[in-house]
Structures are given as C-alpha cells and as structure tokens.
Amino acid sequence: MTGSIDPTRPQFDAFKALPRDTPIQMLNLVRAKPLADYPEGHPNHGKGMTGLEAYRAYGRDSAAVFARVGGKQIWAGRPETVLTGPQDERWDLAFIAEYPNAGAFLAMVTDPDYREHVKHRQAAVEDSRLIRLAPITPGEGFGE
C-alpha cells in the first residue's frame, strides 16, 4: 500500500470549496521514509539522505515562501505512542501550521519556488495526514 503523500484531486477540490478568507490551521502528521527517495536528476538523488533529513531540507528551503504568505508554525510535538488507533500506526513529526486564510495556503502551494522545494517532501514522506482546521476558542471542557 502506498502512503498518502499529496492530496488527491477530490481532496484538493474539497479544500478549495471551503471559505478562503478565514484563518486556518493545518494539522500535519508525518511518517518519514528510512531513506529519502529523490528522483534521478535531483541534486540529492543517491546521496543517502534519510527521510527526516529530506523533510528538514523541505522545511528550511520552503521557509521563505511559508513566511511570505503569512504562515507560522504554532505547535509542534514528537509523537511517542498511539493510545487510541491502530497499534502499527506511527508518526515521526506532528505540528500545526497557521495561515491568515486559505488563500495564503493556496498561494504557497502554487508558488513556483515552493513547487521546487516540495520535491524534498515528496522524497521524504512515507505517509502523512494534512487536516484543515477552523480555529476556535477552546472552552473549559473537551470539545467546547
């Protein structure tokens, strides 16, 4: 089975159908490949980089575009174990990125520089989840 690396066309269409002018947060769960899989012709092809090294290159290289659209990382954590869910499910990275609006996220992923930088992510990721969240002010109880 192949992991989820990039959104499918229906998933991307569903994202674009939601409001574009409200702040959004994106929950990212990432499982890296043991060894990055760069395509032939990429400068990092065959260099023996780990998936985590390639993912960090993605973060460094895309940081300027991320900042330019107003994005910021607002939470990051290192997953340790799954309490509820498949026992074989594991994630190497978890973080939440915030954007001033969905239009900013769309501007980032269509930016020519970003489209080049995302090749690091594609080489690095074995499986991932990217979940759009509408920020809410938490209440006192769970789910409020």
Domain 21-133 has CATH 3.30.70.100: yes
- The string of pLDDT tens digits covering residues 65-121 is 999 999 999 999 999 998 999 888 899 999 999 999 999 999 999 999 999 999 999
Q: Chain-wide mean pLDDT for the chain?
A: 94
Q: Contact at 8 Å (CB) between 95 and 75?
A: yes
Q: Contact at 8 Å (CB) between 30 and 128?
A: yes
- pTM of the predicted protein model: 0.91
Alpha-carbon distance of 4 to 31, in angstroms, equals: 10
Domain residue extents for the chain: 21-133
